[in-house]
Structures are given as C-alpha cells and as structure tokens.
Structure 1
Amino acid sequence: MIFETQRLIVRKLILADLQAFHNLESNPNVLKYATGEIKSLEENEKELNNLIAKYFVLNNDFWIYAIERKSDKMFIGTVALVKDKLEDEIGYRFIEEFWKLGYASEICEALILYCKQIGIKK
C-alpha cells in the first residue's frame, strides 16, 4: 500500500489489474480529460507492464498507482505522480461508473498530503 483514504487504497499496479485498467484506458470519456489515446487490450497490457517495470527503476520520477475501493478491493482508477525538470504534476483517472461519488476529492486531498511527505511540490 502506498497510502489510503477513508474509502480508498492507493497501491502499486499488478498484472491482475489488466481488464479494469483496459476499461479505464479505452474509455473516450475518461481520456478526453487527459493525454493519451484509446488503446487495444494488447496495447494496454504492454502499457501496464511498462508501468509496473518503472517501480524497479532507480531514481524514477514517473509513478502510476492503482486506486481500489476498500469495501470490495475493486480497481476503480489510477493516480499519477510525475516529477520532472519543468514542473511536478499529480493526476487521477477513474473508471466512468465511479464518477460523481466523491472519490476525486477524497483522493486529491490525500494525494497532496502524500506528495508533501515524499517531497513533490505543488
């Protein structure tokens, strides 16, 4: 576990997340608010493997983590932590069926606190 909120857990991505990750990354409504293009299941599997591999890279400044609900351990989205030379960024994506449930506000508050703890600036 990376951090948690009242209803959510942020953790490393795992290969078992593939179908839900694909549902997230292949939805045009989700992607219209973020960079990226709709990908096939095979492309998303490759992307998921690449993101997981980044956990093992020393001095990595690009992290994508899974968001899951505590109540049922369901994968519902991702958070991003990007620290680069231009600016530091945080972000999130939720599977569309989990929009408008207060998860975005909840994750953003906790994500900002977490970033302060690890040294990512606003």
Structure 2
Amino acid sequence: MRSFCAATLLAAPLALIATPAQALTSCTVNGRPVSGTAISGTAGSDSIVCGALAVGDTVNGLGGSDYIVINGFVAGTVDGGTGGDFITANAGTTATGRILGGADSDFISVGPNAGTVDGGPAPDFCRVASGNPPVNC
C-alpha cells in the first residue's frame, strides 16, 4: 500500500504540468461538419460557418467567392483567399486575431476589433464596429 501511495504522489504533479491539447475549431464547410486546427474550403465558391477560432487556428476560403461566418471571437486567422469573399465575425477579434480578405474585392464585417482586418490588394468594403481600424479597405 505504501508503494502505491508513493507512486500516486509522484504521478499527480506530472499530470498537472502536461501540455494541453490544441483546441479544435468546429465548422461546416458546404453543409458538411468538419473540425480541426486548419479548415479549408475548395477552389470554388464555399459556405464556411465556424464557432470561435483559437490562437493558431486557421480558416482558408481558398479560391472562389466564399461566404465565411465566424460565430465567436477570432484569435486565429481567417483568410478569404482569391475571389470576392463575404467574411463576417460579429463577436470580433482578439489581439492575435487576423481577418484577411485576400485578392479581389471583398466585404468584411467585424464586431470589436483588437486584431487585424486587412481587405487585401483589391478595392474592398470593410466595416469594423470599434477598435483597430481596417487596412486596405
């Protein structure tokens, strides 16, 4: 019994310092549920709807005119890619969050912005509720 108690006392602190698993983003891409730390659309037009994006998580629209909605804070990165995209994040961004329109004309609407909203090289329409102003819009 004593050796069991001693082993438990040694193992318990190890469990407390274990590295937590990366949070998985839950989304639907063209109506199909997907999850992971990197969510991608297709070369064509897509509909991507996600919950919050954790630090390090990415959503890539890739090509086509994509419709991307984030229903939570963006601490990761949303990249519309090429094509005229519609991107909205009503809950806004955290300091690490980035919303990128990519190439072509995009529409981006964000709640409070503590991160980066960048329309990209083409003429874009960006609306930010408060905080950091958008660039390239």
Quick check: TM above 0.5? no
* Structure with the greater alpha carbon radius of gyration: 2
Normalized per residue, the structure richer in helix is 1
Normalized per residue, the structure richer in strand is 2
- Whose RCO is larger (CA < 8 A, sep 6+)? 1
